[in-house]
Amino acid sequence: MDLADYQDIAFAREGKILTITLNRPQRRNAVDARLHEELSRVFFDAAADPQSEVIVLTGAGEAFCAGGDITWMSDALDDPAMFEALRVEAKKLVAGMLECEKPIVCKMNGHAAGLGATIALYSDIIFASDAARISDPHVSVGLVAGDGGAIVWPMLVGLPVAKRYLLTGDPLSAVDAAALGMINEAVPADQLDAKVAAFARRLAGGATQAIRLTKVVANLPLKQAFHAYIDASVSYETRTSLTDDHREAVLAFAEKRSPKFAGS
């Protein structure tokens, strides 16, 4: 893979392990237009990379990924076509993770919100710092959780629990997420690197063809659900990007006040 094609994603190799790092630490790895485009293709490139068998996914700095960059959302208010243009990229991002036969091990080093949570949860194995939180606060900014979050949360924890968090945007701790079966394990922050490295090495030293194809089979129900519902999901998110409530949420964030939603 041509690593020079990426500006906001960094890469490192250790044997057959390729580490992919979201690399906007000054913005808590929040996703803007450039990073969104890079994410839409990075997992296809990683899948085709002949030097790796295992992917580790993490974030630079204190956060894993803070979700959509609020500045990006603000720009989209006056250019709705920009949001519509992201529809195809949003589908490609998750499809790339699901189509990648190599196991993706998420090292959730810090908070994961919105799209950040979606990326973490579509990984195959998720180890998180016990100080991290995970949330999907799309509704808090007047949007449908249309990037795939509303598909994967119910599959991981069931509808009642998923709707409790998706309809409020409330965060839950990594410890609680592990107890619910949403992630594999919450690990003390100072042990996270070693935990992930040991697990990734174990996979890389295993029967990689069997591991790959076991992932493929295990992911079939999730892939079926994703492909069945993602078009409606991203379409509803695009629709809510045009609402007064979304505009109010973005303006309120910029003005450092609580939004006043009108349901319109």
pLDDT attached to residue 12:
97
The CA distance from 140 to 136, in Å, is 9
Looking up tokens 């016990």 gives: 130
Q: Is residue 195 part of a domain?
A: yes
In which domain, by residue range, is 25 found?
A: 3-254
Q: Is residue 216 part of a domain?
A: yes
Low-confidence ranges of the chain (pLDDT < 70): none
Q: Is residue 112 part of a domain?
A: yes
Q: Is residue 262 part of a domain?
A: no
The CA distance from 31 to 39, in Å, is 9
Residue of 75, 54, 166 whose CA lies nearest to 121: 166
Q: Is residue 179 part of a domain?
A: yes
Q: Is residue 42 part of a domain?
A: yes
- pTM of the model as a whole: 0.96
pLDDT attached to residue 30:
97
Torsion of CA 33, 137, 104, 71, to 10 degrees: 20
CA neighbours within 13 Å on the CB side: how many for 12?
11
Residue of 151, 66, 162, 156 whose CA lies nearest to 112: 66
* DSSP structure string for 182-195: SSSEEE-GGGHHHH
pLDDT attached to residue 41:
97
Residue of 214, 237, 219 whose CA lies nearest to 87: 237
259's CB contacts (< 8 A; 6+ apart) are 142, 245, 248, 249, 251, 252, 253
Q: Is residue 264 part of a domain?
A: no
How many folded domains does the chain comprise?
A: 1
pLDDT attached to residue 71:
86
Find the CATH number of the domain harbouring 26: 3.90.226.10
Torsion of CA 38, 87, 71, 130, to 10 degrees: -70
Q: Is residue 261 part of a domain?
A: no
pLDDT attached to residue 85:
72
